[in-house]
A and B are shown apart, each in its own frame.
Chain A
C-alpha cells in the first residue's frame, strides 16, 4: 500500500563489549535491511560481522542498542525469540552433527512429534521434500553428514533454516569454503530464495561477490558502520577501500626449474569403500610452489592428508629427501620438516577451548620446556610477538581460541605452520575465510618461505589464488591427475576448469 518498501530488520546503535577480554567488538553499528532483498554485510576479519548477526539471532547479548523487526521494537533474548521473528542463521563454521543423517540434522532444532512423544521422521521428510522441490536444493537425506562435502553440508544447513520456517536467512561467510562453481551455485540459490520472498543477509569480505548479488550493501569497519548503500552503486575499488584501505595485488610467475628434488610421490593409491584415488605420481622441487586444482570430490584433499601423514595410503611410496617416509607418523614427518595447514582448520587445526598461546605452540612446545616443565613466560612473549607481527587481533594470548573471529582463528593456524619454517608446507585452502589484506599477507609470506628454499604444495578452491602464486599446477579429477600446467601468463582459469571436468562425465553434484 505504501510506496516505501518496508524495512524488515533494523539494528540501531549496537554496542557490544566482550567482558572476557574487554574487546569492543561493536561500537555503534547500524544495519537496515529491506524486506525481500539480498543484503550484504561486508567487512574485514574481526570487523564485527559475526558478532552483529549473533546478536540478531539471540546468541549474544548486546550492551546497548535497539532492534526492530518489521517496524516493531523487539527484544531478542535467545535463539528461540529470534526464530519466532523468523530469523535464523547458517554459521561460519558449519555446525552439524557428524554422526547424524542429513535428515536428523535438519529436524534437530524442531523435532516433529507423534502423540507428543515419538519422533515422527516421516512427516518431517515429506515437509523437507516439498521444501527441496520449491527451493531447488537437493541433498540425500539419509546420508550421514560425516560423508558429505562442505557444499553439501551447506545445503543441509540451508534446508535446516528453511525447515524452521525462517523468513530472514543469515549466511556467515558461506562462500569462503566453496569453490568457484559451488559459489556460483550458491549465489544462484540465494537469488532464488529472495525471489520466493525471503530476505537474505549475506556476510562476506569479498567485495566482488557483494557487488554481483546484493540489492543493498552495508560495510562494517572496526565495529562501526562506515557505509550503507541506498540506491547508488559503489564500485569495487570504492568498496575495497571502505573495508580496509590499501591492498596490493601482485603476480609472480618466474618458474623455478633448477631446484633439487624434495619429495617424490610414487604411485600412491588410496582405496576406499566406494572409490579409488590414484595411482598418483609427481615430484616437488626445492623452492617450488606447486598447486593442485580440483573439486572436493577429486580426492585432492585426501591426497594432501596422505602426504601430511594423517591418512595411510593403501599402496605406493613417498620419498622425502631420499628417505622413504610412507610409514612415518605425522609427528615424525613434522620433525623432518613437513608443515601442514589442514582443510578443516577449526576442527583439526585448532583446539578451540585452549588458549591462543597453547594453540600456537603445539608443534614446537618442546622449545619452551626445560627438564619437562614449560616456561610460560617465554610462551607468552613468543605468542605476543607472533600476534603482533601477524596482526592477530587478541587482547591476551591466554584467551581461548574460540573467542577469536573466524578469520583470526585461521591466522593462528597459518602463522603456526609458517613459523616452524618447514621444508615442505602442505596447505589446503590456506586463505579461505581471510579478507583481501590478510590473503595478500599470506601469499607474501609463502613467497618469502620459498625464497628461503622451502617448497609449498597448495590445494585451493580459489583458482585465482592458484594462478596467482603457483609455479606449476596439477589438475585432479575423480582421483587422478589429469593435466600438468606450467603457470605462464597465457594460462587461464577456463583451461583449469576444463581439465577439472575431464572425468566428471556426469555432473557429480546431484
Chain B
C-alpha cells in the first residue's frame, strides 16, 4: 500500500517538474533574444559540469532542512511561517559562538555550533507555541511576525557591534577554517554538510514514522480533538513540533554558513524559509521526498543563474517559475485532476 502511495507521489512530482521546465522555457522564449541557447542552459546547465552540479547540490542543503522544518510543523497541524527569521537569527547566534571558539577540536566544535543553532531556532519557534497555548494567538501570524522582528534584530548587530570593519558589506568576521565543513567537489561549493542533511532527513523520517513522538504528532496533526480525547497532551506536542521545526531551520542556515559562506552575511538566506514551505508542500509532508523537492528548487535556481551568465536571461526567471509551482501545488487538486484521479468528494 505504501508503495502505491509513493508511486502516486512520483507522478505528481514528475508532473510538477515538467510544468516547471515548460513554464521556465516559455518565460525565456518571450524575453530572450536567443531563446534556444538560453533554454538549453536553463534546463541542462546545472548538470553540464561538476562545478554547477556541486553548486546545485550544495544549494539544496538549506532547503532540505527548512523543508523538514515545515514538514514537522505541518505534521502536528501547526504552521510555522517564521522559518525565515528563525533560520537567520539562529545562524547569527551560532556564528557568534563559532567566532569565540578558536582552538577547539573540530569534531567537538562543529556539533557544538550546530547544537547552539538548533536550540536558538527551536526556542524562537517554540515561543509562538507558548503564545498559542497560553493566549490562543494564531501561531501562523505570531511566528511570521516574530520571525521578521528577529531578522531586524540580527541585522542590527550585524551592522553594528559584530560587523567586520574590513568587509565591504554588513557581514561578520570569517569563521576559522578549522570549523568549516570540508569541500567535496572543488571548486564548487559542495561540502560535507550534505551528509548531515541526508542523515537528518532519514532520522526525521524514522522518528515521524515509527516513534511514539511521531505517532503523537501524526494523531495531533490529523485531528487534535481526537488526540486530546485519546489522552495525548496536544499542547505539549505542538510545543515540541514547533521547537523541532525551528531547530531544523536553524541548522539549515548554520550548515550553509559553515559550508559555503564562512561568515554570516546580511540577507544570505533570503527565501530559504518560504521555499522550504513550498518544498514541504511538494513533498506532501514526507521527509524523504523533501530531498528531491529541494533538489528541484535548487536546480531551477542554478539553471536560471547559468542561463543568465551564458545568455541574456535575468536570474529572476527562477523566482517566477518557483512562484508558478507554488500556485500549482497549492491548488493541489488540479494536479490530481490532470493525472486522472478523481477530485476528492465532499462529505460521506
Q: Are B229 and A340 in contact (CB under 8 A)?
A: yes
Across the interface, which residues of B come within 8 angstroms of A314, CB to CB?
Answer: none
Q: Are B226 and A376 in contact (CB under 8 A)?
A: no
Q: Are B230 and A363 in contact (CB under 8 A)?
A: yes
Across the interface, which residues of B come within 8 angstroms of A50, CB to CB?
Answer: 348
Q: Are A354 and B222 in contact (CB under 8 A)?
A: yes
How many Å lie between the Cα of A347 and that of B213 in the bound state?
23
Q: Are B215 and A358 in contact (CB under 8 A)?
A: yes
Task: Report the interface size class on chain B.
Answer: 20 to 34
> Which among B211, B223, B343 is the interface contact of A374 at CB below 8 angstroms?
B211
Q: Are B347 and A331 in contact (CB under 8 A)?
A: no
Q: Are A60 and B229 in contact (CB under 8 A)?
A: no
Is B219 located at the chain interface by the 8 A CB criterion? yes
Q: Are A354 and B1 in contact (CB under 8 A)?
A: no
Q: Are A362 and B232 in contact (CB under 8 A)?
A: yes
Q: Are B347 and A93 in contact (CB under 8 A)?
A: yes
> Which among B222, B228, B346 is the interface contact of A310 at CB below 8 angstroms?
B228
Across the interface, which residues of A come within 8 angstroms of B219, CB to CB?
Answer: 351, 354, 358, 362
Q: Which stretch from A268-276, A364-372, A460-468 is at the chain B interface?
A: A364-372
Q: Are B231 and A334 in contact (CB under 8 A)?
A: yes
How many Å lie between the Cα of A396 and that of B4 in the bound state?
14
> Which among A61, A93, A330, A335 is the interface contact of B228 at CB below 8 angstroms?
A330
Across the interface, which residues of A come within 8 angstroms of B227, CB to CB?
Answer: 351, 362
How many Å lie between the Cα of A270 and that of B316 in the bound state?
60
Is A92 located at the chain interface by the 8 A CB criterion? yes
Closest partner residue, chain A, to B225 (CB atom): A348
Is B218 located at the chain interface by the 8 A CB criterion? yes
Q: Are B230 and A362 in contact (CB under 8 A)?
A: yes
Closest partner residue, chain A, to B226 (CB atom): A351
Is B40 located at the chain interface by the 8 A CB criterion? no
Closest partner residue, chain A, to B4 (CB atom): A20
Across the interface, which residues of B come within 8 angstroms of A396, CB to CB?
Answer: 1
Is A299 located at the chain interface by the 8 A CB criterion? no
Across the interface, which residues of A come within 8 angstroms of B231, CB to CB?
Answer: 330-331, 334-335, 362-363
Interface flags, B227-250, vs A, CB<8A=1, else 0: 111111100000000000000000
Q: Are A347 and B225 in contact (CB under 8 A)?
A: yes
> Which among A60, A92, A353, A365 is the interface contact of B222 at CB below 8 angstroms?
A353
Q: Are A374 and B226 in contact (CB under 8 A)?
A: no
Q: Are A331 and B1 in contact (CB under 8 A)?
A: no
How many Å lie between the Cα of A338 and that of B10 in the bound state?
45
Within 8 A of B (CB), among A371-402: 372-374, 376, 396, 398-399, 402
Q: Are A331 and B233 in contact (CB under 8 A)?
A: yes
Interface flags, A326-362, vs B, CB<8A=1, else 0: 0001110011000010100001111111100010001
Within 8 A of A (CB), among B1-33: 1
Is A59 located at the chain interface by the 8 A CB criterion? yes
How many Å lie between the Cα of A366 and that of B345 in the bound state?
35
| Least CB distance, A285 to chain B, in whole angstroms | 26
Report whether over half of chain A's contact residues are helix, strand or loop; otherwise say mixed: loop
Across the interface, which residues of A come within 8 angstroms of B225, CB to CB?
Answer: 347-348
> Which among A91, A349, A372, A373 is the interface contact of B226 at CB below 8 angstroms?
A349
Q: Are A350 and B212 in contact (CB under 8 A)?
A: no
Is B166 located at the chain interface by the 8 A CB criterion? no
Is A233 located at the chain interface by the 8 A CB criterion? no
Q: Are B211 and A373 in contact (CB under 8 A)?
A: yes
Is A95 located at the chain interface by the 8 A CB criterion? yes
| Least CB distance, B332 to chain A, in whole angstroms | 15
| Least CB distance, B206 to chain A, in whole angstroms | 9
| Least CB distance, A380 to chain B, in whole angstroms | 12
How many Å lie between the Cα of A95 and that of B233 in the bound state?
28
Closest partner residue, chain B, to A308 (CB atom): B229
Is B342 located at the chain interface by the 8 A CB criterion? yes
A347-B225, A348-B226, A354-B222 are known contacts. Are A365 and B215 too (CB-CB below 8 A)? yes
Q: Are A95 and B347 in contact (CB under 8 A)?
A: yes
Across the interface, which residues of A come within 8 angstroms of B212, CB to CB?
Answer: 365-366, 369, 372-374
Within 8 A of B (CB), among A19-60: 20, 50, 54, 59-60
Is B210 located at the chain interface by the 8 A CB criterion? yes
Interface flags, B329-345, vs A, CB<8A=1, else 0: 00000000000001101
| Least CB distance, B205 to chain A, in whole angstroms | 13
Q: Are B345 and A374 in contact (CB under 8 A)?
A: no
Q: Are A398 and B1 in contact (CB under 8 A)?
A: yes
Across the interface, which residues of B come within 8 angstroms of A369, CB to CB?
Answer: 212
> Which among B210, B211, B229, B348 is the interface contact of A95 at CB below 8 angstroms?
B348
Across the interface, which residues of B come within 8 angstroms of A351, CB to CB?
Answer: 219, 222-223, 226-227
Across the interface, which residues of B come within 8 angstroms of A60, CB to CB?
Answer: 345
Q: Are B226 and A350 in contact (CB under 8 A)?
A: yes
Q: Are B345 and A59 in contact (CB under 8 A)?
A: yes
How many Å lie between the Cα of A306 and that of B219 in the bound state?
23
Closest partner residue, chain B, to A375 (CB atom): B210
Across the interface, which residues of B come within 8 angstroms of A406, CB to CB?
Answer: 348
Across the interface, which residues of A come within 8 angstroms of B228, CB to CB?
Answer: 310, 330
Q: Are B215 and A374 in contact (CB under 8 A)?
A: yes
Within 8 A of A (CB), among B187-225: 210-215, 218-219, 222-223, 225
Within 8 A of B (CB), among A393-419: 396, 398-399, 402, 406
Interface flags, B109-145, vs A, CB<8A=1, else 0: 0000000000000000000000000000000000000
Across the interface, which residues of B come within 8 angstroms of A363, CB to CB?
Answer: 230-231
| Least CB distance, B314 to chain A, in whole angstroms | 36
How many Å lie between the Cα of A348 and that of B226 in the bound state?
5
| Least CB distance, A384 to chain B, in whole angstroms | 15
Closest partner residue, chain B, to A61 (CB atom): B342
Across the interface, which residues of B come within 8 angstroms of A89, CB to CB?
Answer: 347
Q: Show 30 A/B contacts (Cβ-Cβ < 8 Å), sorted by A.
A: A20-B1, A54-B348, A59-B345, A60-B345, A61-B342, A79-B345, A91-B347, A91-B348, A95-B348, A330-B231, A331-B231, A331-B232, A334-B231, A340-B229, A342-B229, A347-B225, A348-B223, A348-B225, A354-B218, A354-B223, A358-B215, A362-B219, A362-B226, A362-B232, A363-B230, A363-B231, A372-B211, A374-B215, A399-B1, A406-B348
Binding site for B on A (CB under 8 A): 20, 50, 54, 59-61, 78-79, 89, 91-93, 95, 310, 329-331, 334-335, 340, 342, 347-354, 358, 362-363, 365-366, 369, 372-374, 376, 396, 398-399, 402, 406
Extra pairs beyond A329-B233, A330-B231 (16, CB < 8 Å)? A54-B348, A59-B347, A61-B342, A334-B230, A335-B231, A348-B229, A349-B226, A351-B222, A354-B219, A363-B230, A369-B212, A373-B211, A374-B210, A374-B214, A376-B210, A396-B1
Smallest CB-CB A-B distances: 10 pairs: A362-B230, A331-B231, A95-B347, A351-B223, A91-B347, A59-B345, A334-B231, A351-B222, A351-B226, A353-B222
